[in-house]
Amino acid sequence: MRHLLSTRDLTRDDAVAILDVAEDMADVSTREIKKLPALRGKTVVNLFFEDSTRTRISFEAAAKRLSADVINFAAKGSSVSKGESLKDTAQTLAAIGADAVVVRHGASGAPQVLATSGWIDAGVVNAGDGTHEHPTQALLDAFTIRRRFFGTDARGRDLAGLSVVIVGDVIHSRVARSNAWLLTTLGASVRLVAPPTLLPVGVNTWPVTVDYSLDDSLAKPADVVMMLRVQGERMNAAFFPNAREYSRLWGLDDARLAGLGEGTIVMHPGPMNRGLEISSGAADSARSTVLEQVSNGVSVRMAVLYLLLSGEREDLA
Amino acid sequence: MPERTVLQQADIARALTRISHEILESNRGADGLVLLGIPTRGVVLARRIAALTGEFSGSAIPAGSLDVTMYRDDLSRGRVRTPSPTEIPPGGIDGAVVVLVDDVLYSGRTIRAALDALGDIGRPRAVRLATLVDRGHRELPIRPDFVGKNLPSSQHERINVRLTETDGAEFVSIEGGEAA
């Protein structure tokens, strides 16, 4: 693996291989010494042009557990605020000797540009680009689902036969996009539920089905209910009348939680707007995997960094 | 490339039986022993030795596996290596006598990695090494305690170990080496 830019590039076997390596990484996290020497001497740069808590910390923890050196870069307080371009920032990092660049950027496609422009020859991991993709989030979601449903028997398996409902702000959600591709690649069936204003144009070309009513959709069998964050910061138009109406029609409240089938799990990529898309009752219930998703995130990112940075570097394509 | 079989199924069984007796003898019984196989075939061998020692001493020695991939010194060369699971028996390894089990001992670098991996998991009282085949050409000061068969070989030759559980056949063969 040279870069991880999109879950669309992953085949079923690639994805299962990443999840299997993540299982081994998760075993390490249960030990007293949570460290492996695999990436000793490698430098990982976290290049974050957008705010993030869990993704940046998660990548940092993952790189450090593999003994890599980590450089954190936040656009705030850097020369980017003086007007430095992505190219100059990237080349500065290359000059420092970065082996991998984990990039989050507000513009969709920025990681793709970094990976293909020839500015740097480091491996690029997309940690969220605009409203495009967030592949490691989808991988950790798939990992969490696989662990919840198959437990210790999870290795080597995909998600065939499971049905996943993704609810909410799909149009702004890179998590929804990455999950739609990855989960269907792994054999799960994906339903999107959202008001029509929060569905992107062209959703009919995605490998998913679409429902507009949450109650109708939850009346059908669902193994996983994934609630998306309502991304207020990206909403520059009236996508729904008001928060109360959104919550009543598309939020996972305590009544809908109680109506879920036995064994159905509730996921949320975080940060949660409690009371808007998810009630506190749902977020803190035994069905909720929110905290598991965070700890699994470290294992999955360790797997991605390991697969990206070990082995002979392939020639630039 | 001529391939010649050096150990048949019965020879492998005999070697493992002898190794099992030697392990029990050197430890004066099965107490405090833990067998850790190095994936892939070392794990199979460790399980077989555990079963044999159980037969001979009455109490089965716990057996597990120890993946050394992340501790190798050649990770940045060649293809990306995918790790295998590490399974430490429930009792852990602190204070135990750990016997590492591998199929072929060659440069000794895998065992060096295994010693590092062990250090991150616990602190055994002692570490021993059992190997089905010792083919020589050590590059590190490492020496086995229990050997199934010493097989002096040229570095141009290949040693193939095949076990029923992993390969559906059971033999050890030596291949190539006309350049030697």
- The whole-angstrom separation of Cα A89 and Cα A110 is 13
Residue ranges, chain A, pLDDT below 50:
315-317
The residue among A3, A23, A24 with the most chain B CBs within 10 A of its CB, best to mutate, is: A24
- CATH code of residue A114: 3.40.50.1370
Full domain range(s) for residue A37: 7-134+295-309
Quote the Cα angle for A82-A87-A93, to 5°.
85
ipTM: 0.86
Task: Kindly state whether residues A179 and A250 are assigned to the same domain.
Answer: yes
Q: Do B76 and A37 touch (CB under 8 A)?
A: no
DSSP letter string over B114-174? HHHHHHHH---SEEEEEEEEE----SSS---SEEEEE----TTSEEEEE-HHHHS--EEEE
pLDDT per residue over B126-143, tens digit each?
Answer: 999 999 999 999 999 999
Give the pLDDT of residue A315. 43
- A35 falls within a domain: yes
The answer to whether residue B177 scores a pLDDT higher than 90 is: no
Same domain, residue pair A24 and A142 = no
Tokens (6 digits) for B173: 């063969």
- What tokens does A41 get? 């001497």
Is A20 in the same domain as A166?
A: no
Determine, yes or no, domain membership for A316: no
Q: Classify residue A63: in a domain, yes or no.
A: yes
A29 reaches B (C-beta below 8 A): no
Asked if the structure places residue A1 within a domain, the reply is no
User: A128 and A205 share a domain?
Assistant: no
Cβ neighbours around A204 below 10 Å, total:
8
Query: What pLDDT does B1 receive?
Result: 66
Query: Number of structural domains, chain A?
Result: 2
Q: Are residues A214 and A273 in the same domain?
A: yes
CA B43 to chain A, closest CA, distance in angstroms equals: 16
The answer to whether A34 contacts chain B (CB < 8 Å) is: no
Shared domain for A11 and A56, answered yes or no, is yes
Give the pLDDT confidence score for residue B79 in this predicted structure: 87
Q: Mind listing the domains of chain B with CATH numbers?
A: 10-74+82-153 (3.40.50.2020)
A127 shares its domain with A262? no
| pLDDT at residue B178 greater than cutoff 80 | no
The nearest CA of chain A is from the CA of B120 a distance in Å of 6
Residue A248 placed within a domain: yes
Query: What is the average pLDDT across B86-98?
Result: 94
B81 CA to centre of own chain: 19
Query: Does residue A315 sit within a domain?
Result: no
Q: What is the pLDDT of residue A285?
A: 96
Same domain, A24 and A112: yes
Instruction: Tell me: do A241 and A103 sit in the same domain.
Output: no
The burial of A183, by beta-carbon neighbours within 10 Å (0-12 exposed, 13-18 middle, 19 or more buried), is given as: buried
Residue B32 per-residue DSSP state = T
Q: Residue A93: what pLDDT?
A: 86
Same structural domain, A266 and A147: yes
Nearest to A17 by CA among A309, A317, A300, A312: A300
Query: Is-contact A195 A240, C-beta < 8 A?
Result: yes
Name the strand (E) or helix (H) holding A150.
helix A135-150
pLDDT number for residue A316: 38
What token pair was written down for B174?
């030596």
pLDDT digits (tens, 9 = 90+) for B18-72: 999 999 999 999 999 999 999 999 999 999 999 999 999 988 899 999 999 999 9
Question: Tokens at residue A214, please?
Answer: 């949450």
Q: Is the pLDDT of residue B179 over 60?
A: no
